[in-house]
Structure 1
Amino acid sequence: MTTATARTKTLDLIGNTPIVLLEGPSKAAGCEIWGKCEFANPGASVKDRAALWIIRDAEARGELLPGGTVVEGTAGNTGIGIALVANALGYRTIIVMPDNQSKEKMDTLRALGAELVLVPPTKFADPNHFVHTSRRLAEETPGAVWANQFDNVANRRAHIDATAPEIWEQLGGRIDGFTCAVGTGGTLAGTGMGLKAFDENIRIALTDPHGAALFNYYAHGELKAEGSSVAEGIGQGRITANLEGAPIDTQFRISDEEGLVWVARLLREEGLCLGLSSGINVAGAVELGRQLVAEGRENPRVATILCDTGFRYLSSLYNADWLRAKNLPVFDWLG
């Protein structure tokens, strides 16, 4: 009998996620499309990485002291990551979230012991926006720090330090492109910066949902939004501190309908239950792969982020009535 001797701290479970070759997207693109399985993190999303780096940074700067509180405004996944990391390190958590996000995210945050504050969704310019509300709560709460995921560059350092080197190593140093959507900008900017440090020729692409302004910004230099999207946690209307200096070479705009095609196919054909942001990312990766193939690159490889688990959207994305109410196609197996 073999006795296990290795010891792993719970926070060491964040990161080092698997990467998987996606067969359907690869056939559609005519090249290899790889998905980084961020749903394998303890909090089931890519946002665990930002949560850990932000909290460790606040500790290192002496702002977060024993028994303190972490306050954040989030669409849900960052809050879940912060709650788990804070629990492991002995901190309290207050999470401010728009009240139109999935019920599963709200229930998860409450189950993790976070204090959940729900606010109506509104534009960033409104002082009652969830980000501004979380900042005020942090200022009013003794011993609290504001995570500030949108403009705290510890967020993107998580991906410079870890996500990019993991992808590079897992693909044996052979990667031609990377793309994902933007919420805070930390994942795209940080992974892009990290990969460019290995090879400047890796093409970094923004995959933007409708209703966001960054596609037009990187294509034409103007922050201009068109259309709308029901995807949670992605879509941005400003250049956050995390996005400043991001090495974005090209951009794609992907509709919810396109993203849902890949959500359905990845579930039915490859056994991956994912959220809509992952479907949008995969659609963008297919477009990037086709672009690289058309330019004559030999068997290019493109990586993207599989952001979170679809189990977080059972009451929305995987609910026929909800899809009909949003005028979106209903997955055939839902009737």
Structure 2
Amino acid sequence: STKLVELRCLSESTGCRILGKAEFLSPGGCQKDRVARQIIDEAEAAGLLKPGATIVEGTSGSTGISLCLAAAARGYKVHVVMPDDQAAEKVQLLRRFGATVELVRPASISSPEHYVNVARRHAASLNSQSEGGGLALFADQFENPANFNAHYLGTGPELWSQCDGRLDAFVMSAGTGGTLAGVGRFLKEQSADTKVCLADVQGSALYSKVASGVLYAPEQEEKSIRRHRADTIAEGIGNDRLTANLAMGLQEHNGGHLGIDAAVRVSDQEALQMAHHLLAHEGLFLGSSAAVNCAAAVKMARKLTPGSVVATILCDSGQRQLTKFYNEAAWAEYGLVAPTHHEASDLSFIS
């Protein structure tokens, strides 16, 4: 169980209690630790892993890091395929933790060279060397229901208990969608009145999917997308497709279960400003995904009555993003300007 902390400067400004579950304090540095353990547990239970097998995954980095730690405890090897434009710290950590790292150029999921498709082929190739397989497991975090299960069975119940059964809104960004869908499903089963809100980044099509039922990003029309997955400085969130895990959180795809029922957009500039604001006033050094979540929590809180309780996930630390999200030299590429100082209760930088 990770701690739940109040973000006082956000609470004071909005008149709501804004809480963050500190998943960045997990051993692997984010909530993906839960997913990695659940994937391995379910694979072992199904007899899909032989002793000394290799776990293969396509990842922007965080899930790979968590898999390295979980695999080491179980005697498995890890092979990670990731886009070559992610923060250098993640590659260094993966290699330090014993993973074989294969870097590929960013590509559309429809391309055989997309990092997930490359990982899938590598796992299949390893398994073809043994009758009956078992030499490799394709972790498949985007489509594997173990991702959803980790949060439905773990993170959601923890959060509900920590809030003493009173939570008006849960806000979370989505890459695989497992955290948002899993936590959201559990919370809706406890209280149908709890809002479950997607925080989406620029260049991603998920906001439109929740808001209007159609996967679409304005940047597609403007032909300004620079990379296929999401045109944002934030890593590991945003998507241009509906994953199996996110679909489990959408009523029209999951058999009618209540789930995600709201969405807000957060710009890179808002996320960058929020990250520096929380560092200055809360002493929290958070990564881009957590900054997006906190900015979205403020937007959601403004829509609720005073005194409402809003929770989000502080899913990553800034320590793995010094060369990108916290690197002034990288900001211009994404059209960002240096953040300005605001007093603790001044959130005028959030639209």
Please indicate, yes or no, whether the TM-score normalized by the shorter chain is above 0.5.
yes
Q: What's the TM-score once normalised by structure 1's chain length?
A: 0.91
Once the 2 structures are TM-superposed, how far is the Cα of residue 327 of structure 1 from its aligned partner? 2.5
Pairing 1:7-26 to 2, within 5 Å after superposition? 16-26=1-11
- What pairs up with 1:61-210 in 2 under 5 angstroms? 61-142=46-127, 143-210=135-202
Greater CA drift, 323-332 or 75-84: 323-332
Partner deviation per Cα, 1:205-246 (whole Å, 9 max, x = no partner): 111101110111111121101243111000011111111231
1:332 Cα deviation from its structure 2 partner: 5.8
Contact 1:97 / 1:116 at 8 angstroms: preserved in 2? yes
User: Aligned to 1:160, what secondary structure does the other structure show?
Assistant: helix
* 1:3 counterpart residue number: none
Q: Does 1:252 align with 2:264?
A: yes
Name the SS for the 1:145 alignment partner: strand
Q: TM-score, normalised on structure 2?
A: 0.87
Aligned to 1:243: 246
Q: Return the alpha-carbon distance in structure 2 between the equivalents of residues 241 and 260 of structure 1.
A: 30
Q: Which residue of 2 aligns with 1:12?
A: none
Give me the whole-angstrom Cα distance separating, in 2, the residues matched to 1:245 and 1:83. Answer: 27
Aligned counterpart, 1:264:
276
2-side partners of 1:128 and 1:154: how far apart? 25
CA shift at 1:331, angstroms? 4.2
- 1:219 aligns with 211
Unaligned runs of 5+ in 2: 128-134, 220-230, 250-258, 342-351
Letter in 2 for 1:41: S
Give the AA of the match of 2:36: A
CA shift for structure 1 position 29: 2.3
Counterpart mapping for 1:267-278 below 5 A:
267-278=279-290
In terms of mean alpha carbon deviation, does 79-88 or 312-321 score higher?
312-321
Identity, % of aligned pairs? 45
Q: Which residue of 1 aligns with 2:316?
A: 308
Aligned counterparts of 2:246 and 2:237: Cα–Cα separation in 1:
13
Choose from 232, 235, 243 the match for 2:235. 232
The C-alpha deviation readout for 1:115-146, integer Å capped at 9, x for no partner, is 00000011111110000000000001140010
CA shift for structure 1 position 27? 2.3
The aligned amino acid for 2:115 is: F
The answer for the alignment partner of 1:5 in structure 2 is none
1:291-306 pair list within 5 angstroms = 291-293=303-305, 299-306=307-314
Number of aligned positions between the proteins:
314
Indicate the SS of the match to 2:239. coil
**Alpha-carbon distance, 1:78 to partner:** 0.3
Q: Structure 1 runs of 4+ off > 6 angstroms?
A: none
Looking at structure 1, the residues matched to 213 and 153 of structure 2 have their Cα atoms a distance apart, in angstroms, of 29
Contact 2:203 2:218 (C-alpha < 8 Å) held by counterparts:
yes
SS state at 1:291 partner: coil
What SS is found at the alignment partner of 1:133? helix
Amino acid in structure 1 at the alignment position of 2:210: Y
What one-letter code is carried by the residue in structure 1 that aligns with 2:160? W
Contact 2:232 / 2:334 at 8 angstroms: preserved in 1?
no
Would you say the 8 A contact 1:324–1:330 is kept in 2? no
Q: 3-state SS of the aligned residue for 1:292?
A: coil
Tell me the distance in 2 between the aligned counterparts of 1:189 and 1:28: 28
> Secondary structure at the residue paired with 1:329?
coil
Q: Report the RMSD for the aligned CA atoms in angstroms.
A: 1.2
Would the aligned equivalents of 2:171 and 2:199 in 1 still touch at CA under 8 Å? yes
Measure how far apart 1:254 and its partner are.
Answer: 0.8
Judge conservation of contact 1:320–1:331 (CA < 8 Å) in 2.
Answer: no
Query: Is the CA contact 2:234–2:325 (under 8 Å) kept in the aligned structure 1?
Result: no
In structure 1, what is the Cα distance between the partners aligned to 2:218 and 2:204?
7
Q: Distance in 2 between matches of 1:314 and 1:302?
A: 29
